[in-house]
Amino acid sequence: MKLHEYANFDATGLAELVRKREVTAEELIRLAREAHDQLNPTLNAVIEFYDDAESAPGSHEGPFVGVPFLRKDISSTEAGRLFECGSQLYQGFRPVVNSYFVERARAGGLRIVGRTTTTELGVSGLSETALCGITRNPWNLDRTAGGSSSGSGAAVAAGIVPTASSSDGGGSTRIPAAYCGLVGLNPSRGRLSGGPSAQDPGHGISRRFVLCRTVRDMAAALAGC
């Protein structure tokens, strides 16, 4: 598969290719890395693409089997991975547990390959922080990608990955979706589980979910949560 072909598929389409054994998860991750290396120096959407991304864990089943996925660097944690919340206050912090959202993403077949930029502590609708710098809109580099799910919106719109994590309390998923031409949804309170220890709040102001390019991807993500 060529990079331009990869960028034209949504997550559902890529997963179907993996199930048919027309492409492997490792090949898709290598393509995501290639797209990142070409585009991210201009966009600054991804704060870290993991060096060991090709070995990222994930189920061999699920609606998004083998699909590369980026984690917004706030709200959801990966054990041992940096979690800096777009803030110098959190710089270097590594949680020791996986959030329930991360566990569910992996169970659905997604392979988490890196972290996306976010506004500081998720409190702004723009896309610039002292820690991350400016995240630019791939449709117009002079425009903001919105926030607080800035990097996720820019990365998905640019084709680095077909879907990425987001969270929304006051528009942090919906603003980047609108600015970057994506599908974004803030599920109703209680629609998504926060897990047995409620480590991912689903009943409060903010809910964790995804940004994607197609309605069918959004429907599959909602059905799988």
Q: What residues are annotated to the active site?
A: 72, 148, 172
Q: Which DSSP string do the residues of 22-44 spell out, in sequence order?
A: SS-HHHHHHHHHHHHHHHHHHH-
**92 φ/ψ sector (left φ>0, alpha ψ -120 to 50, else beta):** left
Residue 86's contacts (CB-CB under 8 Å, 6 or more residues apart) are 73, 74, 117, 118, 119, 120, 121, 122, 129, 131, 132, 148
Cα torsion for 14, 17, 23, 26, to the nearest 10°?
40
* Pairing state between β 68-72 and 111-116: parallel
Q: Which two tokens stand for residue 182?
A: 């994506």
Separation CA 217–CA 225 (nearest Å): 12
Separation CA 24–CA 27 (nearest Å): 5
Which of 76, 112, 78, 114 has the alpha carbon at shortest distance from 95? 78
